Amino acid sequence: MYKIIKRVLDIFISLLILVLFAPIIIILYFIIFFHLGRPVIFKQIRPGYHGKPFALYKFRTMKNTNNEEGVLLGDELRMTPFGKWLRSWSLDELPQFFNVLKGELSLVGPRPLLLEYLKLYSSEQSRRHNVRPGITGLAQIKGRNSLSWDEKFYWDTQYVDHVSFLLDLKILFWTIRSVIGRRGIYQDGHVTMPPFTGNKSHE
């Protein structure tokens, strides 16, 4: 029953946010277009419910800059000041509400990570895909990118084990506080989360 309620809430709140933020979305679209060019919307294939791939939408925050050998530069070198500001307020994630409407994301659930991480998960970590991924989740309110990978996976699986209407409401409330307080956006020395390289005791 809660799956139906959760889906109805996902659609209702996503539509509300997209309508309320429509002027901001349009303004950001043109700022990014004139600042970075196309594409304005960054699309990346991520694993969704039960690991099924889907295209995740984000506003673009980085330049496509290569070194002399033609290799793409690191995130720290490609991130623009405006892109960093967008991320600090989570505005780069506004297009993901379209993912919610399409049923690929939920408002609350484990964040969809990179596709290449699937083969690196332990059986316990893989349980994060037993629910639909979300725009926000327990790991986001517990520290976001300031957490270690072990801590992220712990909170993701805690959500899978205790998913409920009240927990989702709590996560949404604390997410708003975290965004306003701009907590846990970056890990020391990184503008994005360091890559996940697997587990020493991989199952």
Give domain status of residue 187, yes or no.
no
Q: 99, 95, 101: which is closest to 55 by C-alpha? A: 99
Q: What pTM did the predictor assign? A: 0.86
Range of lowest pLDDT (86-90, 141-145, 194-198): 141-145
Amino acid identity, position 64: N
Tell me: pLDDT of 75 over 70.
Answer: no
- Cβ atoms of 20 and 97 within 8 Å: the answer is no
Q: What's the DSSP call for residue 41?
A: E
- One DSSP character per residue, 115-161 reads GGGGGG--HHHHGGGGS--EEE-HHHHTTGGGS-HHHHHHHHHHHHH
The more confidently predicted of residues 68 and 14 is 14
- Round to whole Å and give the CA distance between 154 and 167: 16
Distances (CA, A) of 15 to 101, 105, 127, 193: 8, 14, 29, 29
Q: For residue 146, what are the domain limits? A: 2-181
For residue 191, what pLDDT is reported?
Answer: 54
Give domain status of residue 125, yes or no.
yes
For residue 144, what pLDDT is reported?
Answer: 75
Split into its structural domains, the chain has a count of 1
Beta-strand pair 53-59/41-47: antiparallel
Strand segments (E) across the chain: 41-47, 53-59, 106-108, 134-136
- Round to whole Å and give the CA distance between 63 and 85: 15
Give domain status of residue 192, yes or no.
no
For residue 201, what pLDDT is reported?
Answer: 47
Determine whether 138 is exposed, middle or buried from the number of CB atoms within 10 Å of its CB (0-12, 13-18, 19+): buried
The more confidently predicted of residues 48 and 184 is 48
Tell me: pLDDT of 161 over 50.
Answer: yes
Question: Between vectors from CA 8 to CA 4 and to CA 10, what angle results, nearest 5°?
Answer: 115
Per-residue pLDDT band for 109 (boundaries 50, 70, 90) equals very high
Give domain status of residue 201, yes or no.
no
Give domain status of residue 49, yes or no.
yes
- Output the average pLDDT for the chain: 87
Range of lowest pLDDT (46-50, 61-65, 117-121): 61-65
Give Cβ neighbours of residue 15 (< 8 Å, ≥ 6 apart).
101
Peptide bond into 53 cis (omega under 30): no
Q: Please give the average per-residue pLDDT across 94-100, as a whole number.
A: 97
Beta-strand pair 134-136/106-108: parallel
Give domain status of residue 200, yes or no.
no
- Cβ atoms of 60 and 40 within 8 Å: the answer is yes
The more confidently predicted of residues 67 and 132 is 132
Give domain status of residue 173, yes or no.
yes
Give domain status of residue 109, yes or no.
yes
